[in-house]
Amino acid sequence: MKFDFTGKICAVTGAGAGMGQAISLMLAESGAKAVVMVDLSEKHMAETIDKMKAIGTDYKCVYGDLSQVEFAKKFVEETIETYGTIDVLVNVAGIVQVNSLDTITEADFDRTMAINVKAPMFATQVAARKMVEQGHGSIVVIASTAGIMGVGNRMAYSTSKGALVIMCKSIAAELAGTNVRINCVCPGTVDTPSMEKRFQAMPDPVAGKKAFLAKELNGRIGTSEEIAKTVLFAASDEVDYLNGAALIVDGGMTCCTGKN
């Protein structure tokens, strides 16, 4: 299915790599008028910029720290100031910290919640105001299967992703009747730079990755492009009855207790 985003003004956080990059590029390839790409710095965005230039779609980069609520609001405001509107917002940026109930600090927990929950919430707040005013808009939030079933030693991360699932449902209820939709996508394990770092940090990266993949029903992990397709599906006008949903994209990981 080919999704049509012709003329749409889109904003994507975490656009420098992985899922955020794939989503930004796929929106551009699907006809978006412009894509506003958000990440920490120009260094983080270099590869995405090169690929976006090759596509030829108009783009704007906004750099800053999404742990700061004011920046989460600012990039949406800049999108509206530059293009006069915002049609699609995709909140991708997030962090994963390895910590246990015994070792987690208040600072660790607060930073995870700031980037993973507060940033998308307040970015959505600003975007939704404009979308309601103009009578249309679509918001997608990247949650995780960790927010559905929990993950040991990643308590703060799992808590933050579970919060996003309920946040989207609550906002969908609040925006009912406005023609503004919000949905979340819950990926399983995805082949991103951060996931590769996790493999490389294992005592034996090759054996560790092999053992990890053995647990996957399909014998592999997902790709950023596969998640991007789901995001575009959720954001597109073609599925405008989809609202408040949590779309699980995990190759079947959460459907059962394991392979037969």
Delimit the domains of the chain by residue range.
Answer: 9-187+226-248, 191-221
Does residue 260 register a pLDDT over 70?
no
The Cα diameter of the chain in Å comes to 55
Does residue 63 register a pLDDT over 70?
yes
Q: What is the rounded CA–CA span in Å between residue 119 and residue 25?
A: 22
Which SS3 state, helix, strand or coil, does residue 176 take?
coil
- Nearest 5°: the CA angle 34, 235, 222 is 100
Does residue 258 register a pLDDT over 80?
no
CATH T-level topology, domain 9-187+226-248: Rossmann fold (3.40.50)
> Mind telling me the catalytic residues?
157
Alpha helices in the chain (DSSP H): 18-29, 42-55, 69-83, 106-113, 119-134, 146-149, 155-174, 193-200, 205-214, 224-235
> pLDDT-based confidence at 149, cuts 50/70/90?
very high
User: CA nearest 52: which of 76, 28, 69?
Assistant: 28
- The H or E element containing residue 13 is strand 9-13
Each residue's pLDDT tens digit, 171-185: 999 999 999 999 999
Mean pLDDT to the nearest integer, 153-169: 96
What pTM was computed for the model? Answer: 0.94
Q: What is the rounded CA–CA span in Å between residue 16 and residue 23?
A: 10
Q: How far is CA 163 from CA 88, 120, 156, 186, in A?
A: 21, 11, 11, 12
pLDDT of residue 72: 98
Mean pLDDT to the nearest integer, 84-99: 96
Each residue's pLDDT tens digit, 209-242: 888 788 788 888 899 999 999 999 999 999 999 9
> pLDDT-based confidence at 15, cuts 50/70/90?
very high
